[in-house]
Amino acid sequence: MGEPQPNRNTPLVDRRHGQPGTVVVVGDVRFGDNKVVVIGGPCAVETPSQMARTAAQVAAAGATMLRGGAWKPRTSPYDFQGLGAEGLAILAEARRATGLPVVTEVMDPRDVETVAGVADMLQIGSRSVQNFPLLREAGASGKPVLLKRGMMTTLDEWLNAAEYVLAAGGTDLVFCERGIRTFEPALRNTLDVGAVAVLKDLTHLPVIVDPSHASGRAEYVAALARAAVAAGADGLLVETHCDPDLALSDADQSLGPDQFTALVASCRAVARAVGRDV
Ligand code: PEP
Ligand code: MN
């Protein structure tokens, strides 16, 4: 008889009694350790110079990982869809220039091999959280996975989505709370800060927060980021742009370099107040 197989009563994502948190390692970055990880970069990779400038700025401000979408899930098929494989090459160049690992979204199970060939971490976006073939393919790729919460996903559904990745052989998964859809229209979404605290209890895997998609507005991103750190988030995913007004997607929520630098400093103060660091 081999090891008992995981089943619905013993999910791999669950934190067993007394089990310490799992640290997910991506290059030099450690999710779930004392240091709160800050990921910065544009919503979408647009041009080599946009990515190079933005990457240099976030690295200088203290980000330890880069983001940027090459394949973009857009509400309208007529909006900018991302550069695809060309975007991956631009991300690879930004990694080379900064030394920082990169995370980027994969939307189609058929693209997992291509994206995994370049990215250090695969992002599965909100709209794909229950795309089960994609979850399986990402899990089988062996790459760390950043799993966003869907805008209408309960914690139980989200945990089960992560279980698909782990059941397919994935071991390194980080959850990313990015706001849920509620009755409140003032912001793009409603950041579920409570979900961070609850999830840290339910799972041994790290939990980060994306205050950019949660707020939809640049002027509120830092406040949500500080709340996330205070609630115990293991990291932040923040959309930044060298020239936010010109961003081809999510311009309203993109931070310029000075705003991003200020965000990192204020989150560092909060992190230190709760016994961590940035
Ligand atoms: C993104 O990170 O650019 C993105 C599309 O996020 P979400 O899936 O959370 O909407
Ligand atoms: Mn975006």
pLDDT digits (tens, 9 = 90+) for 129-187: 999 999 999 999 999 999 999 999 999 999 999 999 999 999 999 999 999 999 999 99
Determine the pLDDT at residue 155.
98
160 close to 203: Cβ distance less than 8 angstroms = no
pLDDT of residue 6: 77
Any ligand 1 atom below 6 A from CB of 136: no
pLDDT at position 131, please?
98
Looking at residue 2, its pLDDT comes to: 63
Q: Are 202 and 234 spatial neighbours (Cβ–Cβ below 8 Å)?
A: no
Spacing, Cα 26 to ligand 2 middle (Å) = 22
Distance 213 CA to ligand 1 centre (A): 7
207 CB less than 6 Å from ligand 1? no
Give the DSSP letter of residue 225: H
Residue 127 CA: which ligand is closest? 1
Q: What pLDDT was estimated at residue 5?
A: 77
* DSSP count for the chain of H helices, then E strands: 9, 10
pLDDT tens-digit series, residues 114-136: 999 999 999 999 999 999 999 99
**Residues lower than pLDDT 50 in the chain:** none
Query: Cα separation of 238 and 235, whole Å?
Result: 10
Looking at ligand 1, which residue's alpha carbon is closest to its atom 4?
Answer: 125
Residue 8: per-residue pLDDT: 84
Query: Is the beta carbon of 73 within 6 A of some atom in ligand 1?
Result: yes
Exposed, middle or buried, 36 (CB in 10 Å: 0-12/13-18/19+)? buried
Ligand 1 midpoint to CA 126 (Å):
6
pLDDT in the model for residue 270? 98
Report the separation in Å between the CA atom of 51 and the middle of ligand 2, taken as the mean of its atom positions.
Answer: 14
Nearest alpha-carbon partner for 207 in 175, 180, 230, 237: 175
Q: Confirm or reject: Cβ of 178 under 6 Å from ligand 1.
A: yes
